[in-house]
Each structure stands twice: as C-alpha cells, then as structure tokens.
C-alpha cells in the first residue's frame, strides 16, 4: 500500500535536484556559495554593454557550451535549454533512478520558462535586420519556443509520461514544481522531473527591462530602505519528485518532503503586486499541507529588491502569520543569484531544501539600512544556523500570478 498523508493522498519527496546559476553550476557549488555568503552579481560579460544603461547582472560565469554538448546538440539548444538539460542531468543522477519501459511512461516532465529562447530570437532578428539576410537558421523555432526546455529534458532522460511547459513569468518554475507535486500525489504520475530555466541576458531583453525602470544599476538589496530594484539573472533548477514509498523501497536519499502548494491571482494590476493575492497563495499552501502558520520557521521570499514588491510581501507575511511573523526567518536569495525570471522559483527552492537539510539559513546579501515598512528578520548578510522543520518558497509574478510551495524537513 502507498503511504498516504492525512488527506489520503500519496506523500511526495524530493530525491534529486540540479542547478545552474550565477553562484554555481552544480548543487555543491551553489550550496557552498550560500554557506559562504558569496554572491554572483557583477558586470555583464556575455554581451556588449556600450548601449546599455544597466550593466550589471547575475550571469553563469565561465560557461562554455562546447565543453558540455556536441556540435550536433548545440544546433537545437538555446542557452536556456542547455541550462535545463544540465540541471536535469544532475538532478536525475542524484536521485539514483533508472527507468524501465513500465516506469518511463509514468514519469512526468514539467519544465517552465518565462522568456524562452531570447538569444535565438535575437540572433535571427540580427541576421534579418542588421545583416540583411533573407532567412534564419532552420532550427530557430524549436530552439526559441518556451517549451523547448521540457522537450529537451524529456528526450535527454527518456521520460515518456505527461510532459509540458508552463509560463507564468516569475512564478513559472514554482507553478511547474507544484503541478508535478500534485500529479505525483494524486497518482497521475509516479515520478516528476520539474523546474524552470531562463537565459534572458540579451541586448533586447535587458533593454526591455531597462524600460520598466525596475532594475538596479549596481546590485540587489532586498528589503532595504535604499533598495533600487532587481538584478537580472539566468540559470535553471530541476527537481526529481517521487512517492515516499517508492523512494524508501529503493533506499533513496530523501532531501525533503513537499507537503503543500498554493496558487492565487491578484486579478488587479499588471505590474503592482497585491498583498491580498500573495497572502492567499501562502495561506493556500499552508491549507494544502494541513499546517498551522506557527509550524513554519523559514520563508525563502520572492524578495526582488523593488520598492513595491518587498513592502507588499512583508505585509502579506504579517497578514498570514500574525504574531508568528516576528519569529520567522525570511531571506531573499535573489541577492545571490539575481532574478532569473521563470527559473527563479526553482533556483530558490534549491536554497530552501539546503536550509531544511543542513540548518544553514541563506542570508539576504547587501543588506544595509532597515526599512520601517520591511520589519521582519531578513537574516542580513550572514548565514545563520537554525533547525527548521517547515519552510515556504514564495513566487509572485507580474500579472498577479502567485505560487507558493511548502516543504518539510525529512
């Protein structure tokens, strides 16, 4: 019999995770950077910056695609799909799973992206409009489509179950992980490989973000009074989810248990976040998990470093957690790896699992001056050692699309 939770549904655990980010292109490197408070925000190097006002980002440094993929593979892999495949391989290897014809068709794959293949699109436009050429490379469409990453990961790992991409701006990866959790919990799949990938550091994309006037020129200072905006990042995070019973039966190392997932829509403004919408998503995650607010010890915040987001998220946490909000540890790891848009929720969940596993709470870097409107414990600048049993990971996107995951230490 499958071991089931209080609601009679199958329990779901994380047995593998992989990451590519500005602070490390593997889980050990990523975790070491968190523990040592080493951020990855710096001058943009992958594109020319002469025409840019914003010249700072969180890039994956030293990444040479030709060292990781064959020339044939690279003809169909945009940078965001490259990141997804590498993170998927790491997660799968960590899980120790092997597929049979019977299990492959029960293995789902949900990998999201908010922006898709921006570098491929931009290169095609450059050839057409700058060089005056009459055609683009033949694999342009399968490289840039936002579902390219999930297709590539499913093919690379041989996953034949339900597979699709999702796109909900900055909540994309959290939606993908939550949907995979629900599929495994509800019996629609036995394994789910889930996450998000993004590579938005292109001239057109950076100029588009400049136009919104929400990007900092120097660095990301979440929840500080002198915060001046977000910093673009890139990378991918991928997780392997499976049932607790299956993981225990094969002696797998269990990294954490996923216990709840909440979603909501602000149904309000396209760009301005809503305290009520964010609060509903957090409350929905707690309700889905059957948890009281007092059970939560740490929140990996959305924490973009923008004036509007950080204050609204703080108010939403107060609204949901009441007096317990003062006892919570809240940090934004975007101060390390930037805002990787559709990949952010997955990269941040790697940090959340790390906190549950090791008791090392990632800090909020670059924290300087407290803001009276942001009055929680943001674990400023220095990692903290604390045993946490339950953590939330928040993602609140443009368009009011909110998603929150609840995880328990196993």
Tens digit of pLDDT for each residue in 45-70?
Answer: 999 999 999 999 999 999 999 999 99
Q: Which residue matches tokens 């290169």?
A: 123
Are 213 and 266 part of one and the same domain? Answer: no
Are 44 and 161 part of one and the same domain? Answer: yes
Number of domains forming the structure of the chain? 2
Are 219 and 300 part of one and the same domain? Answer: no
Are 84 and 232 part of one and the same domain? Answer: yes
Say whether 339 is catalytic.
yes
Task: Name every residue whose Cβ is closer than 8 Å to that of residue 130 and which is 6 or more positions away in sequence.
Answer: none
* 7 in a structural domain: no
Among 249, 276, 309, the domain boundary falls at: 249
* 2 in a structural domain: no
* 161 in a structural domain: yes
Choice among 205, 318, 339, 374 that is catalytic: 339
- Cα-Cα-Cα-Cα dihedral sign, residues 268, 271, 277, 281: positive
Are 41 and 161 part of one and the same domain? Answer: yes
Say whether 170 is catalytic.
yes
The pLDDT, as a whole number, for residue 410 is: 95
* 384 in a structural domain: yes
* E strand segments, 246-327: 256-265, 298-300
Are 30 and 173 part of one and the same domain? Answer: yes
DSSP state of 254: P
* 3 in a structural domain: no
The pLDDT, as a whole number, for residue 1 is: 39
The pLDDT, as a whole number, for residue 5 is: 58
Q: Which residues of the chain have pLDDT under 50?
A: 1
DSSP state of 313: H
Q: Is 39 left (phi over 0), alpha (psi -120 to 50) or beta?
A: beta
pLDDT (tens digit per residue) in 236-263: 999 999 999 999 999 999 999 999 999 9
The token duo for 91 is 């997660």
329-331/298-300 β-pairing: parallel
Among 249, 278, 307, the domain boundary falls at: 249
Are 379 and 311 part of one and the same domain? Answer: yes
The CATH number that applies at residue 240 is 3.40.47.10
* 166 in a structural domain: yes
Are 133 and 30 part of one and the same domain? Answer: yes
With 0-12 / 13-18 / 19 or more C-beta atoms within 10 angstroms meaning exposed / middle / buried, residue 180 is buried
Are 238 and 116 part of one and the same domain? Answer: yes
* 120 in a structural domain: yes
β-strand partners of 329:
298, 377
Choice among 175, 302, 318, 337 that is catalytic: 302
Are 184 and 40 part of one and the same domain? Answer: yes
Among 249, 271, 293, the domain boundary falls at: 249
* 5 in a structural domain: no
Q: Is 277 helix (H, G, I), strand (E, B) or coil?
A: helix
With 0-12 / 13-18 / 19 or more C-beta atoms within 10 angstroms meaning exposed / middle / buried, residue 86 is buried
Domain range for 311: 260-408
Are 64 and 205 part of one and the same domain? Answer: yes
Choice among 109, 170, 205, 220 that is catalytic: 170
The pLDDT, as a whole number, for residue 4 is: 59
Are 375 and 268 part of one and the same domain? Answer: yes
């Amino acid at each position: 019999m499958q071991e089931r939770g209080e609601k009679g549904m199958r329990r779901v655990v994380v047995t593998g995770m992989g990451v590519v980010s500005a602070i490390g292109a593997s889980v050990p490197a990523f975790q070491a950077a968190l523990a040592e408070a080493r951020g990855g925000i710096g001058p943009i190097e992958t594109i020319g910056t002469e025409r840019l006002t914003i010249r700072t980002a969180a890039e994956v440094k030293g990444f040479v695609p030709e060292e990781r993929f064959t020339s044939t593979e690279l003809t169909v892999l945009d940078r965001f799909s490259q990141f997804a495949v590498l993170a998927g391989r790491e997660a799968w290897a960590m899980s120790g799973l092997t597929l049979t014809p019977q299990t492959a068709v029960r293995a789902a794959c949900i990998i999201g992206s908010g922006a898709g293949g921006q570098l491929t699109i931009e290169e095609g436009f450059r050839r057409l409009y700058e060089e005056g050429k009459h055609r683009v490379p033949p694999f342009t469409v399968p490289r840039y489509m936002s579902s390219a990453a999930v297709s590539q990961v499913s093919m690379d790992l041989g996953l034949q179950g339900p597979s699709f991409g999702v796109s909900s701006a900055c909540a994309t990866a959290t939606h993908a992980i939550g949907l995979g959790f629900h599929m495994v919990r509800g019996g629609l799949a036995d394994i789910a490989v889930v996450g998000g990938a993004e590579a938005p550091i292109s001239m057109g994309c950076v100029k588009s973000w400049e136009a919104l006037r929400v990007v900092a020129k120097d660095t990301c200072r979440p929840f500080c009074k002198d915060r001046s905006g977000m910093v673009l990042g890139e990378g991918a995070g991928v997780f392997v989810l499976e049932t607790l019973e299956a993981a225990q039966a094969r002696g797998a190392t269990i990294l954490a248990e996923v216990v709840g997932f909440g979603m909501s829509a602000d149904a309000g403004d396209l760009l301005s976040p809503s305290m009520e919408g964010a609060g509903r998503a957090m409350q929905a995650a707690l309700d889905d998990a059957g948890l009281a607010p007092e059970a939560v010890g740490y929140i990996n915040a959305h924490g973009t470093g923008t004036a509007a987001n950080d204050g609204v998220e703080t108010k939403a946490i107060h609204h949901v957690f009441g007096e317990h909000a003062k006892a919570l540890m809240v940090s934004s790891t975007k101060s390390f790896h930037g805002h990787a848009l559709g990949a952010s929720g997955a990269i941040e969940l790697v940090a959340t699992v790390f906190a549950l596993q090791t008791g090392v709470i990632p800090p909020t870097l670059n924290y300087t001056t407290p803001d009276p409107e942001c009055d929680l414990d943001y674990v400023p600048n220095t990692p903290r050692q604390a045993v946490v049993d339950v953590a939330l990971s928040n993602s609140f996107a443009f368009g009011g699309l909110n998603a929150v995951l609840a995880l328990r230490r196993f």
